[in-house]
Amino acid sequence: MLCIDGLTVSVGAKAILNGLDLEVATGEVHVIMGPNGAGKTTLANVLAGHDGYDVDGRVTFDGLDLLTLTPEARAAAGLFLAFQHPVEIPGVGNMYFLRTAVNAVREQQGLPEVAAREFLTLARDQMAVLGMDPAFLTRFVNDGFSGGEKKRNEILQMSLLEPRLAVLDETDSGLDIDALRAVADGIERLRSPERSFVIITHHRRLLEDVRPDRVHVLNGGRIVRSGDHRLAVELEASGYGPTLAAAPA
């Protein structure tokens, strides 16, 4: 589904990703770990089409040349990014935002709009599952939300947009136990043979609830080690030190 081939990314003179290769097959859950500054968030941003980076290499997504597409076209193709720091949009109701997003994607996919009433039912169902207060819908997008509420809101958006590929950028950071469980449940419920995940995380805790197919260690702008879910356990026990020391420079 996603094939990253020799991805090189820099900002000005500073190289961030340095020939990164990664292949994610349909239905797989991949986890990317790595020390601070390794380029994890940059990878997520570049996949979603954030500008301001010098990008080289090739990324195909369901056969599309991803790097040539606008962010909204990537969204329409089924790519979703759960942001590490979801932005606040004062004055724009959450319900309105969610429905506009869903319908914008549907429009680009040639599907009819979801009517307000029907959407409300959908949203309420998803929110009940995520343990979110219905008052969420009438608040402004992320405005005055706690950290946990923002992350749940990202998962809610993911649930409603039903992407082909979800990239989650530290969605589990800074969450209490309940919020973490809600996020994990949200991911597990969406997991399907047709949908893939790239989960960027610092913590093994999430992986107790969401068992990944592959775990990768990102350092110095490329993937230095890959393994199955046991790699995450090992990393938590020993830190990144041994892995990075053993990896080729």
Positions touching another protein (CB under 8 A) are: 48-50, 52, 70-72, 74-76, 80-81, 83, 86-87, 89-92, 97, 100-102, 104-105, 108, 140-141, 157, 161
**Smallest distance from another protein to CB 37, Å:** 20
The number of residues making up the chain comes to: 249
CB of 123 to another protein, least distance (A): 14
Residues contacting 227, CB < 8 A, separation 6+ = 214, 215, 234
User: How far, in Å, CA of 194 to CA of 28, rounded?
Assistant: 9
Query: What's the closest the beta carbon of residue 92 comes to another protein, in angstroms?
Result: 4
Measured from the CB atom, the residue of 85 and 211 that comes closer to another protein is: 85
Q: At what angle do helices 116-130 and 177-190 cross, to 10 degrees?
A: 120
Q: Residue 155 in contact with residue 183, Cβ under 8 Å?
A: yes
Select 76 or 247, whichever has its Cβ closest to another protein. Answer: 76
DSSP at 213: S
Give least dist CB 39 to another protein, A: 18
Q: Report the alpha-carbon distance of residue 245 to residue 236 in Å, rounded.
A: 16
Instruction: Choose between 32 and 44: whose C-beta lies nearer to another protein.
Output: 44
For 188, the token pair is 């597990």
- Report the nearest approach of another protein to the CB of residue 79 (Å): 8
Answer yes or no: are the C-beta atoms of 91 and 140 closer than 8 Å. Answer: yes
Q: Is 69 helix (H, G, I), strand (E, B) or coil?
A: coil
Shortest CB 158 distance to another protein, Å: 10
By beta-carbon proximity to another protein, the closer residue of 12 and 248 is 12
Distance CA 199, CA 178 (A): 19
Q: At residue 144, what is the residue type?
A: G
- Of the two residues 163 and 221, which places its CB atom closer to another protein in the complex? 163
Q: Rounded to the nearest whole angstrom, what is the least distance from the CB of residue 183 to another protein in the complex?
A: 18
Q: Which is nearer to another protein, 3 or 101 (CB)?
A: 101
DSSP 192: B
Residue closer to another protein, measured from CB, 4 or 75: 75
- Give dist(CA 229, CA 211) in Å, integer: 7
